[in-house]
């Protein structure tokens, strides 16, 4: 990869190519559960900017630059009270839109609060997720129709990773690693006949079909199943930094994963899943009942720091908890038990920003090269010609993306097979909460 491509893809701060591009979209900022009315403000690092999130007494969400516009004391220290956040330095108070609503340290006849404003971003909340808009449009674009976030009882969790957003995201669109990093110790006999992971274990070198899509890029990885049908794993990249991963039942579940760049060397994963067979234990275990994923993510306790939320207990300094005996005995192929920590270890081990000039990409990386190219073209088209990024003015396009695995007749046209599967799938939102198939 050329140096300027590498820089344009990986840097996300204000004024960078990718930073300007990402700011055209609504950005996932925090889980709804992370801020309570009149609760402590939350430090957020988003695209290299230090922000404060709070929920006022009425439940409205404010996301502000953390610096008080008076003399830059951090509003993190502020008092969240009576529908506003009050700076503890001189008592100026700001509402969720950033308006200064009280200036008690200034004599009444010199008060200029109506002219003062904190730097505030527009916010939205949908189901389990808080969103922030950091672009400069007066007229807001719609929230993207990302299906997993349209399901009212979807589940969400976060995990912070200490590396550039791109290398973290690329793990999600790299099906070939699953047969090794996650499933290298499994044999077909370990899994039920209809287990979605079984074809991966039967054939660890899939072939790919890749294409651009209205929402980004998509791939289908295919390999013959042992019943004569073709196994497909279909997955997506969605602008600007979302994925849908294939390791679920296509017909009944929806997943979306945001790799929100906190800055150039830290990324926050928001993982949202929902669907009718959510949590079906049969698919997270082997035939003998032993878990596939090696238990829950070992988190470090959250702190209130800029990089304090949803960190893993292990990192480079503890070798990500690798257990050489478990590796040798094939308890886990990697020697690392938890599936998210397996991903965490390999992508953090690349370094804070992976050196893309050092890579030697292979045919199994075709989705990665396609996605990098699509991102670069779209980001530069916005910078150079003002071409509105895909999905900003047409947020419904994201609803056409659904990931998962299925078996299909061999030789069928893969995009036609995808359309058929999508038509038969259970979709959300559903009127009156009823399950419908379209
Ligand atoms: S610095 Fe915030 S009120 Fe003075
Ligand atoms: Fe993975």
pLDDT of residue 282: 55
Q: Which atom of ligand 1 is nearest to the CA of 72?
A: 1
Distance 264 CA to ligand 1 centre (A): 30
Distance 349 CA to ligand 2 centre (A): 14
Cβ of residue 159 lying under 6 Å from some atom of ligand 1: no
Mean pLDDT across 30-55: 98
Cβ of residue 101 lying under 6 Å from some atom of ligand 1: no
Confidence of residue 206 (pLDDT cuts 50, 70, 90): confident
Above 70 in pLDDT, residue 160? yes
Tell me the HSE value of 208 on the side-chain side, using a 13 A CA sphere: 21
Which residue has its alpha carbon closest to ligand 1 atom 1? 71
Which residue has its alpha carbon closest to ligand 1 atom 4? 90
Give yes or no for a contact between 90 and 96, defined as CB atoms under 8 angstroms apart. Answer: no
The token pair at 135 is 């672009």
Helix (H, G, I), strand (E, B) or coil at 415: helix
The percentage of the chain sitting over the pLDDT mark of 70, rounded to a whole number, equals 96
pLDDT of residue 431: 53
Distance 108 CA to ligand 1 centre (A): 17
Above 70 in pLDDT, residue 283? no
Dump pLDDT digits (tens) for 214-224.
Answer: 999 999 999 88
Mean pLDDT across 151-166: 96
pTM confidence score: 0.95
- Rounded CA gap, 376 and 357, in Å? 16
Above 50 in pLDDT, residue 437? no
Distance 94 CA to ligand 1 centre (A): 11
Cβ of residue 73 lying under 6 Å from some atom of ligand 1: yes
Cβ of residue 177 lying under 6 Å from some atom of ligand 1: no
Confidence of residue 279 (pLDDT cuts 50, 70, 90): low
Bigger pLDDT: 203 vs 352: 352
The token pair at 119 is 């730097």
- Rounded CA gap, 167 and 163, in Å? 7
The token pair at 371 is 């996605």
The ligand that comes nearest to the alpha carbon of residue 342 is 2
pLDDT of residue 106: 96
Cβ of residue 76 lying under 6 Å from some atom of ligand 1: no
CA geometry: angle 302, 304, 308, nearest 5 deg: 50
pLDDT of residue 400: 95
Cβ of residue 230 lying under 6 Å from some atom of ligand 1: no
Confidence of residue 430 (pLDDT cuts 50, 70, 90): low
- Rounded CA gap, 341 and 293, in Å? 10
- Rounded CA gap, 321 and 313, in Å? 9
Confidence of residue 435 (pLDDT cuts 50, 70, 90): very low
State the residue for tokens 């791939």: 219
CA geometry: angle 18, 398, 229, nearest 5 deg: 115
Above 80 in pLDDT, residue 110? yes
């Amino acid at each position: 990869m050329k140096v300027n491509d590498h820089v344009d893809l990986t840097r996300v701060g204000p004024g960078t190519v990718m930073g300007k591009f990402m700011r055209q979209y609504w950005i996932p900022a925090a889980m709804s559960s992370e801020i309570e009315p009149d609760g402590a403000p939350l430090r957020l690092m988003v695209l290299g900017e230090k922000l404060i999130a709070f929920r006022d007494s009425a439940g409205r969400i404010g996301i502000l630059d953390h610096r008080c516009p008076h003399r830059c004391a951090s509003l993190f220290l502020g008092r969240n009270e009576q529908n506003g956040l009050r700076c503890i330095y001189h008592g100026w108070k700001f509402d969720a839109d950033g308006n200064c609503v009280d200036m008690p340290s200034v004599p009444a006849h010199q008060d200029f609060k109506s002219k003062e404003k904190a730097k505030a971003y527009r916010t939205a909340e949908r189901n389990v997720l808080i969103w922030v808009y950091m672009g400069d449009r007066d007229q807001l674009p719609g929230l993207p129709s990302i299906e997993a976030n349209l399901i009212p009882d979807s589940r969400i969790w976060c995990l912070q990773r200490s590396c550039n957003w791109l290398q973290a995201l690329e793990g999600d669109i790299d099906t070939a690693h699953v047969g090794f990093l996650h499933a290298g110790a499994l044999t077909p006999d370990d899994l039920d006949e209809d287990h979605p992971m079984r074809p991966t274990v039967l054939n660890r070198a899939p072939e790919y079909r890749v294409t651009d899509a209205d929402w980004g890029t998509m791939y289908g990885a295919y390999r013959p199943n042992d019943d004569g049908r073709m196994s497909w794993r279909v997955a997506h990249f969605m602008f600007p930094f979302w994925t849908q991963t294939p390791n679920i039942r296509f017909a009944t579940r929806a997943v979306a994963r945001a790799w929100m760049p906190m800055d150039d060397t830290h990324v926050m994963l928001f993982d949202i899943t929902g669907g009718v067979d959510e949590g079906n234990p049969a698919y997270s275990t082997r035939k003998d009942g032993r878990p596939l994923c090696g238990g829950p993510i070992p988190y470090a306790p959250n702190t209130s720091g800029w990089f304090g939320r949803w960190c893993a207990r292990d990192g480079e300094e503890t070798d990500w908890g690798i257990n050489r005996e478990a590796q040798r005995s094939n308890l886990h192929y990697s020697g690392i038990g938890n599936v998210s920590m397996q991903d965490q270890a390999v992508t953090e081990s690349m370094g804070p920003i992976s050196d893309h000039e050092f890579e030697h990409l292979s045919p199994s990386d075709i989705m990665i090269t396609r996605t990098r190219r699509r991102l670069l073209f779209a980001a530069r088209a916005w910078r150079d010609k003002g071409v509105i990024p895909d999905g900003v003015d047409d947020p419904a396009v994201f609803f056409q993306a659904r990931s998962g695995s299925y078996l299909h007749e061999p030789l069928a046209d893969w995009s036609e097979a995808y359309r058929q599967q999508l038509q038969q799938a259970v979709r959300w939102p559903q009127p009156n909460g009823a399950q419908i198939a379209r």
